[in-house]
Amino acid sequence: MEAMFLPFALACSLLAPQAPAPASLDRHLYPLAKPISAPTVTVDVSDLPAAKEWGDTAKKVVETWYPTVTSLLATEKYKPGKRVHIVIKKEISAPAWASGDTITVSGKWITEHPDDLGMMVHELTHIIQSYPRNEKNVGWLVEGIADYVRWWRYEPEAPRPRIDPEKSKYTDSYRTTAYWLAWVSRKYDMRLVPTLDRELRTGKDPMPVFSKLTGKEADVLWKEFVAALPR
């Protein structure tokens, strides 16, 4: 009976220690929800008729980005309103704000900053967030998520804010929080922001999400983020 020999390369591969199975790559997947079509978008420029052209452009931004924003957040059970109403006033105490289904915009601001359509995406995100009251005082995170959608999805080419490690913290809100969320998402888990959004929608404390997805608490993640900032 003749002996049977395995090819040398195959024999070596069978005898060599096997490499461990690669870790799950799920953390690199952005968990897109099913996009929701924009409801009717209306514009009121009765207080500043000269803003009609800007208002029409803002309307297009909201119509176009409504499905995108709903896909970036945990909107599986979200029930959209019947409209988004844009109201442009001559002057208000902020560039814009959202309340209910209405985005109120400062005419003075858009006159001086006509290219600032990104704020519409920020305010639109607030409308879609529509979180219940949360006793954990996480307004900084609500604003951070809205700015994350604006600056890291709608305007990802925008310059990043300068972070002063001596004065800044992850609870500073807006772009500082957004920058931190984007960094943690990219380094650890792209599911971070949608998962935080899901917890906020149920009124739960969102902070355990950081440890669950990264294995590290928020304070540790902030220190890592600061250490990685360009000098």
CA dist., res. 96 & res. 178, Å (int): 18
- Per the domain annotation, does 12 fall within a domain? no
pLDDT confidence of residue 134: 86
Residue by residue, pLDDT tens for the chain (231 residues) are 444 333 434 334 333 444 444 457 888 787 889 999 999 999 999 999 999 999 999 999 999 999 999 999 999 999 999 999 999 999 999 999 999 999 999 999 999 999 999 999 999 999 999 999 888 899 999 999 999 999 999 999 999 999 998 899 999 999 999 999 999 999 999 999 999 999 999 999 999 999 999 999 999 999 999 999 987
pLDDT attached to residue 31: 82
Residue 124 sits in a domain whose CATH number is 3.30.2010
How far apart (Å, rounded) are the C-alpha atoms in residues 45 and 48? 5
Q: Does 112 share its domain with 146?
A: no
pLDDT (0 to 100) of residue 11: 39
Q: Are residues 223 and 171 in the same domain?
A: yes
Question: Structural domain of residue 162, as residue ranges?
Answer: 133-231
- Residue 101: closest CA among 149, 39, 147, 33: 39
Q: Is position 195 within any domain? A: yes
Same domain, 89 and 151: no
210 with 216: CB under 8 angstroms? yes
| Longest Cα separation, the chain | 99
Domain boundary (130, 157, 192) is at 130
Note whether 90 and 157 are same-domain residues.
no
Q: In total, how many domains does the chain have?
A: 2
Would you say residue 22 lies in a domain? Answer: no
Domain assignment of residue 120, yes or no: yes
Q: Which of 76, 111, 130 lies at the terminal end of a domain, its last residue? A: 130
Q: Using the 8-state DSSP alphabet, how is residue 162 labeled?
A: P
